[in-house]
Structure 1
Amino acid sequence: MHTYIQRFLNVAHDVLPNVLKFCYFLLFLVLFSCGNDVTTKPQEQTTTTDTSDTTMTNTSSKKTILCFGDSITAGYGLDDTMDAFPSVLQSKIDSLGLAYVVVNSGLSGETTAGGRSRIEWVLRQEIDIFLLELGANDGLRGVPLSETRANLQAIIDAVREKNPTIPIILAGMELPPNMGQEYTSEFRSVFADLAKKNGLLFIPFILKDVGGIAALNQSDGIHPTVEGHKIVANTVWEVLEPVINP
């Protein structure tokens, strides 16, 4: 009996220090982990708050000009969409120190029907000036003019419903003569009639001094080059500047 007791004490003597060391190690891990939680969490909360405040300040400090259009607005065919006329407008605005940001909501291939279907989604953001540049693809596809007119009116109505005070600039478009004289003439009048009916700011032809000039258009003869977009921006600027820089 004495021998068994002696063996037990010898084993306990060898094992017990290791067990205690392991317990100390576990306790250290628990304390270290808790210490990390305590120091990290307040830091994360502070960073999130600061970022949110900065974003809100930047957004609220500038008014928004939304360019809602098709491939002309989107800058189709350009190596850099920053060369499209909305970005050229932004450069002009920045050079004058005006607190406006230009949002390019152009979509290549867009028709007035497509614009009508996505306008509600686009209007979820705050808008201070609305530029409407749609209709060219309707004309090139021979869409009935009654449909083009109705779709453009619906877009105008949606903007007015969001905020009746938002200035709306309507960009007119013209078609090449191969579409037929009667159709091209009536197509042109759609924009002028809508501008007059709704009291809109009006650009009679957004491709003024660009349309039909080979050197200012890409190989398709329709979409402006970089230099063409600079001229388009100047045409838009003539109507836009009195609104944002009276």
Structure 2
Amino acid sequence: MQTLLKFRYFFIFCFLFSCADTPKKNNELETSDTSNTEVEKLTENKNKVILFFGDSLTAGYGLELEEAFPALIQNRLDSLNLNYTTLNSGLSGETTAGGLNRLNWVLNQKVDIFILELGANDGLRGIPLDQTRSNLQSIIDLVKKKNSNTKIILAGMQIPPNMGPEYTKEFRKIFPDLAAKNKIPLIPFLLENVAGIPNLNLEDGIHPTAEGHQIVMENVWKALEGIVK
């Protein structure tokens, strides 16, 4: 329970200090009375830290924080008696450019494992592919610069063909290309076995339900398990 409270406090702290202008949702307001003392207690935590850095998929849009896949990863770690604390730094509407802008603040604490889940909003908005690739590479570089021992995992993403087949194909290639270039583990497709399945997504057809997040958690765990064990 104490770990879960720390998880919730960090999420809200990240949200309140972000410069993003996305609308607040109910689950982001539940613990908005976070104090500096609570954040200090979090930074004193002696467990190794896994930081999930992403957009609304990481944030658990439309769900309780406990239902989003970072919290489910925490449950898995606890069940295996592994001394890790997961921190949810997902922000709805975030692009790779926005993530790069707020990264320095997020990295003020020590991070042992950094899971990078950004790019979907770039693709949905048709942002030039070279910009998305460059921003993701800059995020990876900055994480390494802050702490060369931090393990980085990159979450692969795919988008609907709205922007045309060529854009869609090249967008999908960004993630395995960057993983290979930087020699970091890749989650081939974060939403594998979830995307396009109506009963595993909310009414918007984009964001997973609680059941969908259970599957997303397993997709993430395949890449994470070998590192934490």
Distance between the aligned counterparts of 1:172 and 1:108, measured in 2? 18
Q: Counterpart of 1:213? A: 197
Q: Counterpart of 1:95? A: 79
The alpha carbon displacement at 1:56 in A equals 8.7
The number of equivalent residue pairs is 192
Q: Counterpart of 1:9? A: none
Is 1:67 matched with 2:52? yes
Is 1:133 matched with 2:131? no
Distance between the aligned counterparts of 1:227 and 1:176, measured in 2? 22
Encode CA deviations 1:66-94: one digit per residue, 9 max, x unaligned. 0000000000011x121000000000000
Distance between the aligned counterparts of 2:128 and 2:43, measured in 1? 46
The alpha carbon displacement at 1:123 in A equals 0.3
Residue 92 of structure 2: SS of its match in structure 1?
Answer: coil
In the superposition, relative to structure 1, how do residues 103 and 179 fare at CA in structure 2: closer, same or farther (>3 Å)?
A: same
Distance between the aligned counterparts of 2:62 and 2:45, measured in 1? 30
Encode CA deviations 1:15-71: one digit per residue, 9 max, x unaligned. xxxxxxxxxxxxxxxxxxxxxxxxxxxxxxxxxxxx9xxx599612x0000000000
The structure that has the greater radius of gyration is 1
Which of 215, 225, 228 is equivalent to 1:241? Answer: 225
**Aligned amino acid, residue 67 of structure 1:** F
Q: Counterpart of 2:108? A: 124
Distance between the aligned counterparts of 1:57 and 1:165, measured in 2? 18
CA RMSD of aligned residues (A): 1.8
- The runs of 5 or more residues in structure 2 that have no matched partner are 1-36
Distance between the aligned counterparts of 1:219 and 1:154, measured in 2? 34
Q: Counterpart of 1:81? A: 65
**Aligned amino acid, residue 175 of structure 1:** I
Which of 132, 153, 161 is equivalent to 1:177? Answer: 161
Distance between the aligned counterparts of 1:244 and 1:144, measured in 2? 35
Q: Counterpart of 2:94? A: 110
Q: Counterpart of 1:12? A: none
Distance between the aligned counterparts of 2:188 and 2:54, measured in 1? 16
In the superposition, relative to structure 1, how do residues 181 and 162 fare at CA in structure 2: closer, same or farther (>3 Å)?
A: same
**Aligned amino acid, residue 96 of structure 1:** L
In the superposition, relative to structure 1, how do residues 109 and 58 fare at CA in structure 2: closer, same or farther (>3 Å)?
A: same
Structure with higher helix content = 1
In the superposition, relative to structure 1, how do residues 57 and 225 fare at CA in structure 2: closer, same or farther (>3 Å)?
A: closer
Q: Counterpart of 2:11? A: none
Q: Percent identity?
A: 61
With the length of structure 1 as denominator, give the TM-score of the two structures. 0.75
The alpha carbon displacement at 1:178 in A equals 2.5
Distance between the aligned counterparts of 1:138 and 1:131, measured in 2? 18
Distance between the aligned counterparts of 1:73 and 1:81, measured in 2? 10
Q: Tell me which stretches of 4 or more aligned residues in structure 1 moved more than 4 Å.
A: 55-58
Distance between the aligned counterparts of 1:152 and 1:177, measured in 2? 22
The alpha carbon displacement at 1:180 in A equals 1.2
Distance between the aligned counterparts of 1:234 and 1:207, measured in 2? 10
With the length of structure 2 as denominator, give the TM-score of the two structures. 0.81
**Aligned amino acid, residue 49 of structure 2:** T
- The runs of 5 or more residues in structure 1 that have no matched partner are 1-50
